[in-house]
Copies of this chain bind each other. A is one copy, B any other.
Amino acid sequence: MRIVVDAMGSDEHPAPDVAGAVLAAREWGDSILLVGDSARITEELSKHDIDGLYIDVVPATDVIGMIDKPSDAVKNKPDSSMHVGLGLVQQGEADAFVSAGNTGGILAVAMLATLRRIRGVKRPALTAIFPNLTGKLVAADIGANADAKPDYLEQFAVMASAYAEQAMGIRAPRVALLSNGEEEGKGNELVKETAPLLRGMTSINYVGNVEPKEALSGETDIVIHDGFTGNIFIKSIEAAASMTGRLLKREITAGTLTKIGGLLAKPAFSRASKYIDPFEIGGAPLLGVNGVVIVAHGRSNAIAIKNAVGQARRAVDGNVISAIREGLREA
Protein backbone atom coordinates (compact mmCIF):
# COMPACT_ATOMS: atom_id res chain seq x y z
CA MET A 1 0.00 0.00 0.00
CA ARG A 2 1.23 3.48 -0.80
CA ILE A 3 -0.13 6.39 1.17
CA VAL A 4 0.55 10.05 0.52
CA VAL A 5 0.99 12.30 3.55
CA ASP A 6 0.80 16.06 2.97
CA ALA A 7 3.90 17.25 4.82
CA MET A 8 2.73 20.88 4.65
CA GLY A 9 -0.71 20.30 6.16
CA SER A 10 -0.81 20.80 9.92
CA ASP A 11 -0.57 24.15 11.69
CA GLU A 12 2.95 23.22 12.84
CA HIS A 13 4.02 21.60 9.57
CA PRO A 14 6.14 19.83 8.66
CA ALA A 15 7.22 18.46 12.06
CA PRO A 16 4.02 16.63 13.19
CA ASP A 17 3.20 15.51 9.66
CA VAL A 18 6.64 13.98 9.13
CA ALA A 19 6.78 12.46 12.61
CA GLY A 20 3.33 10.95 12.14
CA ALA A 21 4.32 9.53 8.77
CA VAL A 22 7.37 7.89 10.36
CA LEU A 23 5.22 6.37 13.11
CA ALA A 24 2.80 5.01 10.52
CA ALA A 25 5.54 3.60 8.30
CA ARG A 26 7.01 1.84 11.30
CA GLU A 27 3.71 0.50 12.60
CA TRP A 28 2.28 -0.85 9.38
CA GLY A 29 5.24 -1.15 7.01
CA ASP A 30 3.41 0.67 4.22
CA SER A 31 5.13 2.89 1.74
CA ILE A 32 4.63 6.55 2.65
CA LEU A 33 5.07 9.39 0.19
CA LEU A 34 5.78 12.68 1.94
CA VAL A 35 4.82 15.59 -0.30
CA GLY A 36 6.02 19.14 0.14
CA ASP A 37 9.17 21.22 0.58
CA SER A 38 11.93 18.60 0.07
CA ALA A 39 14.56 20.42 2.06
CA ARG A 40 12.36 20.90 5.09
CA ILE A 41 11.02 17.35 4.92
CA THR A 42 14.52 15.90 4.64
CA GLU A 43 15.62 17.97 7.59
CA GLU A 44 12.69 16.69 9.66
CA LEU A 45 13.33 13.11 8.57
CA SER A 46 16.93 13.40 9.76
CA LYS A 47 15.57 13.69 13.31
CA HIS A 48 14.01 10.22 13.11
CA ASP A 49 15.39 6.74 12.75
CA ILE A 50 13.89 5.69 9.43
CA ASP A 51 16.13 2.75 8.78
CA GLY A 52 14.24 0.02 6.96
CA LEU A 53 11.11 2.13 6.51
CA TYR A 54 9.58 2.86 3.12
CA ILE A 55 9.47 6.62 3.06
CA ASP A 56 9.88 8.70 -0.09
CA VAL A 57 9.90 12.46 -0.50
CA VAL A 58 7.96 13.98 -3.38
CA PRO A 59 8.70 17.66 -3.96
CA ALA A 60 5.98 20.29 -4.19
CA THR A 61 6.87 23.96 -4.07
CA ASP A 62 3.56 25.61 -3.09
CA VAL A 63 1.71 25.44 0.20
CA ILE A 64 -2.02 26.04 0.57
CA GLY A 65 -2.30 27.73 3.93
CA MET A 66 -5.18 28.12 6.34
CA ILE A 67 -5.92 31.62 5.08
CA ASP A 68 -5.86 30.78 1.38
CA LYS A 69 -9.25 30.94 -0.30
CA PRO A 70 -9.92 27.48 -1.73
CA SER A 71 -10.85 28.69 -5.21
CA ASP A 72 -7.74 30.90 -5.42
CA ALA A 73 -5.59 28.05 -4.16
CA VAL A 74 -6.82 25.77 -6.93
CA LYS A 75 -5.95 28.26 -9.62
CA ASN A 76 -2.85 29.95 -8.29
CA LYS A 77 -0.95 27.17 -6.57
CA PRO A 78 -0.81 24.30 -9.07
CA ASP A 79 2.34 22.90 -7.49
CA SER A 80 0.93 22.80 -3.94
CA SER A 81 1.48 19.72 -1.81
CA MET A 82 -2.27 19.09 -2.13
CA HIS A 83 -2.22 19.23 -5.93
CA VAL A 84 0.84 16.98 -6.15
CA GLY A 85 -0.32 14.57 -3.46
CA LEU A 86 -3.88 14.20 -4.71
CA GLY A 87 -2.47 13.95 -8.24
CA LEU A 88 -0.47 10.89 -7.20
CA VAL A 89 -3.70 9.19 -6.10
CA GLN A 90 -5.47 10.32 -9.26
CA GLN A 91 -2.70 8.85 -11.43
CA GLY A 92 -2.83 5.56 -9.56
CA GLU A 93 0.63 6.04 -8.09
CA ALA A 94 -0.72 6.03 -4.56
CA ASP A 95 -3.75 4.57 -2.80
CA ALA A 96 -4.76 7.35 -0.45
CA PHE A 97 -4.09 10.95 0.56
CA VAL A 98 -3.86 12.23 4.12
CA SER A 99 -3.68 15.91 5.04
CA ALA A 100 -4.14 18.10 8.10
CA GLY A 101 -4.32 21.16 5.89
CA ASN A 102 -6.99 23.71 4.95
CA THR A 103 -10.16 21.64 4.58
CA GLY A 104 -11.68 23.88 1.95
CA GLY A 105 -8.42 23.66 0.02
CA ILE A 106 -8.38 19.86 0.09
CA LEU A 107 -12.02 19.79 -0.98
CA ALA A 108 -11.46 22.22 -3.85
CA VAL A 109 -8.24 20.67 -5.14
CA ALA A 110 -9.73 17.16 -4.93
CA MET A 111 -13.04 18.09 -6.56
CA LEU A 112 -11.94 20.59 -9.17
CA ALA A 113 -8.35 19.83 -10.07
CA THR A 114 -7.50 16.20 -9.37
CA LEU A 115 -9.65 13.25 -8.24
CA ARG A 116 -13.02 14.80 -9.03
CA ARG A 117 -16.21 13.16 -7.88
CA ILE A 118 -17.25 9.54 -8.09
CA ARG A 119 -19.64 9.17 -11.02
CA GLY A 120 -23.18 9.95 -9.90
CA VAL A 121 -22.23 11.84 -6.76
CA LYS A 122 -24.13 15.12 -6.52
CA ARG A 123 -22.13 16.68 -3.72
CA PRO A 124 -19.17 15.54 -1.64
CA ALA A 125 -19.48 15.37 2.15
CA LEU A 126 -16.96 16.23 4.81
CA THR A 127 -17.18 13.96 7.79
CA ALA A 128 -16.12 13.83 11.39
CA ILE A 129 -15.62 10.66 13.37
CA PHE A 130 -15.79 11.01 17.09
CA PRO A 131 -16.29 8.92 20.19
CA ASN A 132 -19.61 8.56 21.91
CA LEU A 133 -20.21 6.66 25.14
CA THR A 134 -20.26 3.25 23.48
CA GLY A 135 -18.24 3.51 20.28
CA LYS A 136 -17.76 5.87 17.40
CA LEU A 137 -20.06 8.19 15.55
CA VAL A 138 -19.66 9.23 11.90
CA ALA A 139 -21.16 12.64 11.19
CA ALA A 140 -21.75 13.84 7.60
CA ASP A 141 -21.77 16.54 6.24
CA ILE A 142 -19.88 18.85 8.58
CA GLY A 143 -19.23 21.70 6.20
CA ALA A 144 -18.82 20.95 2.50
CA ASN A 145 -22.39 22.10 1.80
CA ALA A 146 -23.75 24.85 4.05
CA ASP A 147 -27.07 24.44 2.28
CA ALA A 148 -28.18 21.00 1.16
CA LYS A 149 -31.05 19.24 -0.56
CA PRO A 150 -32.77 15.97 0.33
CA ASP A 151 -31.06 14.05 -2.48
CA TYR A 152 -27.65 15.21 -1.25
CA LEU A 153 -28.42 13.91 2.25
CA GLU A 154 -29.63 10.66 0.73
CA GLN A 155 -26.25 10.18 -0.92
CA PHE A 156 -24.39 11.18 2.25
CA ALA A 157 -26.25 8.38 4.03
CA VAL A 158 -25.20 5.87 1.38
CA MET A 159 -21.56 6.99 1.33
CA ALA A 160 -21.20 7.14 5.10
CA SER A 161 -22.78 3.69 5.41
CA ALA A 162 -20.30 2.25 2.92
CA TYR A 163 -17.44 3.86 4.83
CA ALA A 164 -18.60 2.72 8.27
CA GLU A 165 -19.10 -0.81 7.05
CA GLN A 166 -15.95 -1.21 4.96
CA ALA A 167 -13.41 0.96 6.78
CA MET A 168 -14.67 0.76 10.35
CA GLY A 169 -16.04 -2.78 10.39
CA ILE A 170 -19.52 -1.81 11.57
CA ARG A 171 -22.03 -4.31 10.21
CA ALA A 172 -25.21 -2.73 8.83
CA PRO A 173 -24.38 0.61 10.44
CA ARG A 174 -27.34 2.51 11.82
CA VAL A 175 -28.05 5.80 10.03
CA ALA A 176 -30.09 8.61 11.57
CA LEU A 177 -31.03 12.15 10.66
CA LEU A 178 -30.10 14.82 13.19
CA SER A 179 -33.27 16.61 14.19
CA ASN A 180 -34.97 18.70 16.84
CA GLY A 181 -37.13 15.75 17.88
CA GLU A 182 -37.05 11.99 17.50
CA GLU A 183 -40.61 11.60 16.31
CA GLU A 184 -41.21 11.11 12.61
CA GLY A 185 -42.41 14.44 11.22
CA LYS A 186 -40.15 16.56 13.43
CA GLY A 187 -37.51 18.69 11.78
CA ASN A 188 -37.01 21.56 9.43
CA GLU A 189 -38.18 21.30 5.82
CA LEU A 190 -34.95 19.58 4.77
CA VAL A 191 -35.23 16.86 7.42
CA LYS A 192 -38.94 16.37 6.81
CA GLU A 193 -38.34 15.91 3.09
CA THR A 194 -35.30 13.67 3.57
CA ALA A 195 -36.79 11.28 6.15
CA PRO A 196 -39.19 9.50 3.75
CA LEU A 197 -36.39 9.11 1.19
CA LEU A 198 -34.17 7.36 3.72
CA ARG A 199 -37.10 5.36 5.08
CA GLY A 200 -37.64 3.98 1.59
CA MET A 201 -34.08 2.78 1.03
CA THR A 202 -33.32 -0.90 1.47
CA SER A 203 -29.56 -0.50 1.08
CA ILE A 204 -29.07 1.39 4.33
CA ASN A 205 -30.09 0.74 7.93
CA TYR A 206 -32.11 3.88 8.62
CA VAL A 207 -33.25 4.23 12.22
CA GLY A 208 -35.11 7.55 12.07
CA ASN A 209 -34.42 10.93 13.65
CA VAL A 210 -32.07 11.44 16.56
CA GLU A 211 -31.48 14.42 18.79
CA PRO A 212 -27.92 15.31 19.82
CA LYS A 213 -28.26 13.36 23.07
CA GLU A 214 -29.12 10.11 21.29
CA ALA A 215 -26.33 10.65 18.77
CA LEU A 216 -23.82 10.97 21.60
CA SER A 217 -25.19 8.12 23.67
CA GLY A 218 -24.63 5.60 20.89
CA GLU A 219 -28.11 5.11 19.48
CA THR A 220 -26.77 5.44 15.95
CA ASP A 221 -23.50 4.84 14.12
CA ILE A 222 -24.00 7.58 11.55
CA VAL A 223 -25.72 10.91 11.79
CA ILE A 224 -26.63 12.87 8.66
CA HIS A 225 -27.18 16.63 8.37
CA ASP A 226 -26.51 19.55 6.07
CA GLY A 227 -23.02 21.01 6.39
CA PHE A 228 -24.12 24.06 8.35
CA THR A 229 -26.09 22.12 10.97
CA GLY A 230 -23.37 19.47 11.18
CA ASN A 231 -20.72 22.10 11.72
CA ILE A 232 -22.74 23.71 14.53
CA PHE A 233 -23.37 20.24 15.99
CA ILE A 234 -19.74 19.13 16.23
CA LYS A 235 -18.44 22.54 17.24
CA SER A 236 -21.07 22.82 19.98
CA ILE A 237 -19.99 19.45 21.34
CA GLU A 238 -16.33 20.46 21.32
CA ALA A 239 -17.12 23.82 22.90
CA ALA A 240 -19.33 22.37 25.63
CA ALA A 241 -16.88 19.59 26.50
CA SER A 242 -14.09 22.14 26.69
CA MET A 243 -16.20 24.57 28.76
CA THR A 244 -17.18 21.79 31.16
CA GLY A 245 -13.52 20.91 31.58
CA ARG A 246 -12.48 24.52 32.15
CA LEU A 247 -15.28 25.09 34.62
CA LEU A 248 -14.32 21.97 36.60
CA LYS A 249 -10.69 23.00 36.62
CA ARG A 250 -11.63 26.46 37.88
CA GLU A 251 -13.69 24.99 40.73
CA ILE A 252 -11.18 22.27 41.60
CA THR A 253 -8.29 24.69 41.88
CA ALA A 254 -10.39 27.08 44.00
CA GLY A 255 -9.91 25.09 47.24
CA THR A 256 -7.11 23.14 48.90
CA LEU A 257 -8.99 19.89 49.49
CA THR A 258 -10.61 19.91 46.08
CA LYS A 259 -7.17 20.61 44.59
CA ILE A 260 -5.75 17.53 46.31
CA GLY A 261 -8.76 15.57 45.13
CA GLY A 262 -8.14 16.80 41.62
CA LEU A 263 -4.54 15.63 41.76
CA LEU A 264 -5.55 12.17 42.95
CA ALA A 265 -8.23 11.96 40.27
CA LYS A 266 -5.88 13.22 37.57
CA PRO A 267 -5.39 9.82 35.88
CA ALA A 268 -9.16 9.60 35.48
CA PHE A 269 -9.26 13.05 33.88
CA SER A 270 -6.47 12.01 31.52
CA ARG A 271 -8.26 8.81 30.54
CA ALA A 272 -11.51 10.69 29.97
CA SER A 273 -9.87 13.37 27.88
CA LYS A 274 -7.93 10.78 25.91
CA TYR A 275 -11.20 9.00 25.25
CA ILE A 276 -12.74 12.08 23.68
CA ASP A 277 -9.49 13.30 22.10
CA PRO A 278 -10.14 13.81 18.38
CA PHE A 279 -6.48 13.03 17.71
CA GLU A 280 -6.99 9.44 18.84
CA ILE A 281 -9.20 8.98 15.80
CA GLY A 282 -6.88 11.09 13.69
CA GLY A 283 -9.00 12.04 10.77
CA ALA A 284 -12.15 11.44 8.81
CA PRO A 285 -12.88 10.85 5.16
CA LEU A 286 -13.90 13.30 2.49
CA LEU A 287 -16.69 11.28 0.89
CA GLY A 288 -17.71 11.44 -2.74
CA VAL A 289 -14.35 12.17 -4.34
CA ASN A 290 -12.90 9.46 -6.53
CA GLY A 291 -10.20 8.27 -4.17
CA VAL A 292 -9.46 7.81 -0.48
CA VAL A 293 -8.89 11.20 1.16
CA ILE A 294 -8.55 11.54 4.93
CA VAL A 295 -8.73 15.00 6.46
CA ALA A 296 -7.05 15.52 9.82
CA HIS A 297 -7.41 18.46 12.20
CA GLY A 298 -5.11 21.42 11.66
CA ARG A 299 -3.87 21.10 15.22
CA SER A 300 -2.88 17.47 14.64
CA ASN A 301 0.15 16.08 16.45
CA ALA A 302 2.22 13.12 15.26
CA ILE A 303 -0.17 10.58 16.83
CA ALA A 304 -3.12 12.19 15.04
CA ILE A 305 -1.31 12.01 11.69
CA LYS A 306 -0.38 8.37 12.33
CA ASN A 307 -3.97 7.55 13.19
CA ALA A 308 -5.18 9.39 10.09
CA VAL A 309 -2.90 7.15 8.02
CA GLY A 310 -4.49 4.24 9.88
CA GLN A 311 -7.93 5.43 8.76
CA ALA A 312 -6.65 5.73 5.21
CA ARG A 313 -5.26 2.21 5.11
CA ARG A 314 -8.47 0.69 6.50
CA ALA A 315 -10.42 2.60 3.83
CA VAL A 316 -8.11 1.25 1.11
CA ASP A 317 -8.20 -2.25 2.56
CA GLY A 318 -11.99 -2.17 2.67
CA ASN A 319 -12.31 -0.96 -0.93
CA VAL A 320 -14.45 1.93 0.26
CA ILE A 321 -14.57 3.65 -3.12
CA SER A 322 -15.97 0.55 -4.82
CA ALA A 323 -18.43 0.11 -1.98
CA ILE A 324 -19.63 3.70 -2.40
CA ARG A 325 -20.01 3.20 -6.15
CA GLU A 326 -21.99 0.05 -5.51
CA GLY A 327 -24.13 1.74 -2.87
CA LEU A 328 -24.97 4.65 -5.15
CA ARG A 329 -26.00 2.28 -7.92
CA GLU A 330 -28.36 0.43 -5.58
CA ALA A 331 -29.88 3.61 -4.13
Residues of A within 8 A of B (CB): 132-133, 143, 146-147, 178-180, 187-189, 191, 211-213, 215-217, 226-229, 231-233, 235-248, 250-252, 254-255, 257-258, 260-269, 271-272, 275-276
Contact = CB atoms under 8 A, between A and B. Distances in A.
Contact of A229 (B227, B229, B265, B268): B229
A268 B251 contact: yes
Given A247-B272, A251-B275, 11 more contacts: A213-B235, A232-B232, A233-B236, A239-B240, A241-B241, A247-B276, A248-B269, A248-B272, A257-B267, A258-B268, A262-B268
A268 B261 contact: yes
Copies assembled: 2
Contacts of A180: 143, 146, 227-228, 231-232, 235
Given A216-B240, A216-B243, A264 B261 contact: yes
A146 B189 contact: yes
Contacts of A213: 235, 238-239, 242
A178 B272 contact: no
6 contacts: A147-B189, A212-B239, A213-B235, A213-B239, A217-B239, A254-B271
Contacts of A258: 264-268
Contacts of A248: 248, 268-269, 272
B217 A243 contact: yes
A219 B233 CA distance: 19
Given A261-B264, A268-B254, A147 B232 contact: no
Contact of A178 (B187, B212, B232, B255): B232
B228 A187 contact: yes
Nearest to A265: B261
B275 A132 contact: no
A133 B251 CA distance: 12
A115 to B, nearest CB: 24
A280 to B, nearest CB: 13
Contacts of A133: 243, 246-247
A272 to B, nearest CB: 5
Contact of A255 (B229, B240, B268): B268
A48 B228 CA distance: 50
A244 B247 contact: no
Contacts of A263: 261
B269 A264 contact: no
A266 B271 contact: no
Contacts of A246: 133
Nearest to A181: B231
Contacts of A143: 180
A300 to B, nearest CB: 18
A42 B245 CA distance: 45
Give 8 closest A-B pairs by Cβ, nearest first.
A261-B264, A261-B265, A236-B236, A240-B240, A251-B268, A180-B231, A188-B228, A258-B268
